[in-house]
Amino acid sequence: MKNIAVIGAGTMGNGIAHTFAQSGFTVKLIDVSEKSLDKGMATIAANLDRMVAKGTISEDDKHNTIGNIITYTEISDGVIGADLVVEAATENVELKLNIFRQLNDACSHNTILATNTSSISITQIGAVVSHPERVIGMHFMNPVPIMKLVEIIRGYNTSDEVTKTIMDLSVTLGKVPVEVNDYPGFVANRILMPMINESVETLYNGVAGVYEIDTVMKLGMAHPMGPLQLADFIGLDVCLAILHVMYDGFKNPKYAPCPLLVNMVRAGKLGVKSGEGFYDYTESKKAEKVSKQFS
């Protein structure tokens, strides 16, 4: 397995492409937007420059990594000859199902189809393709080149052979794969999102302010980042989408998103990517202040 296709050039997609390419795989990075592809490649180059500056990799490693990545704007062109396709598009059920329908038509039946979804049912995604035993969840953590964990999620029909192949592949990438079963939120977000949501509820109820809540969790619970700042980095829209998936899946009110989170997303305050969430990132001084608070 040497030919990898990655769909989506956003934060997760370019990180996944970077990781495979740095490990010597040939990577086809696919996105409908040429602008997104250019931005994704620029991000990869900047991240590699940081690694060179730290002495983690050499200049040759950097050039080889970039040379291993080819960009495409058409799925049908980008997945030709792929041994594995990793879908890393926006966390939207219909979007992902549509992509997998296209993959079903464009890929060989031997191609393993993985999704980087953080909460959506692997079984549901697998149901739209022939040979659903080749569909699996491969949930990387952000930032992908640095974080070791990969949640490997088995759908109802995922075969033992495909699971073992992806577990072994993850180890080849220098990751630590953990096999989990297909339930809403899997493990990571089933535990993380209720904590973030409860932190938002704590703010909503006036128990404490943003900085105070995050400081308690950082200093009292040894978390490297407070839950509200973490939500900003994940994207409040992504947090809301995951909570909706979990609430719909379990029908348990403990997963219902806090009204404050809902309103912030409606107002376009999505966190770092929009310039404002629980913290304000729109001015360099404010961003620097937040960085110092959490350094």
Residue ranges of the annotated binding site for NAD(+) are 8-13, 31, 91, 96, 118, 142, 273
Classify the phi-psi angles of 55: left when phi > 0, otherwise alpha if psi is within -120 to 50, otherwise beta.
left
Out of 189, 197, 199, 274, the active site residue is 189
Residue closest to 224 by CA, chosen among 295, 162, 176: 295
- DSSP label of 36: H
- DSSP label of 273: G
> Is 189 part of the annotated catalytic residue set?
yes
> Is 118 part of the annotated catalytic residue set?
yes
Rounded CA gap, 216 and 236, in Å? 21
| 102 contacts 94 by C-beta, under 8 angstroms | no
Task: Provide the annotated binding site.
Answer: 8-13, 31, 91, 96, 118, 142, 273
User: What phi and psi, each to the nearest 5 degrees, are found at residue 56?
Assistant: -70, -40
Rounded CA gap, 145 and 55, in Å? 15
Three-state SS at 38: helix
Classify the phi-psi angles of 30: left when phi > 0, otherwise alpha if psi is within -120 to 50, otherwise beta.
beta
| 68 contacts 24 by C-beta, under 8 angstroms | yes
Out of 47, 68, 116, 118, the active site residue is 118
Out of 139, 197, 274, 276, the active site residue is 139
> Is 151 part of the annotated catalytic residue set?
yes
Burial of 138 (0-12, 13-18, 19+ CB in 10 A): buried
> Is 252 part of the annotated catalytic residue set?
no
| 9 contacts 38 by C-beta, under 8 angstroms | no
- The tokens for 122 are 């692997």
Three-state SS at 71: strand
Out of 151, 170, 199, 274, the active site residue is 151
- The tokens for 17 are 């492409």
Residues marked as catalytic: 118, 139, 151, 189
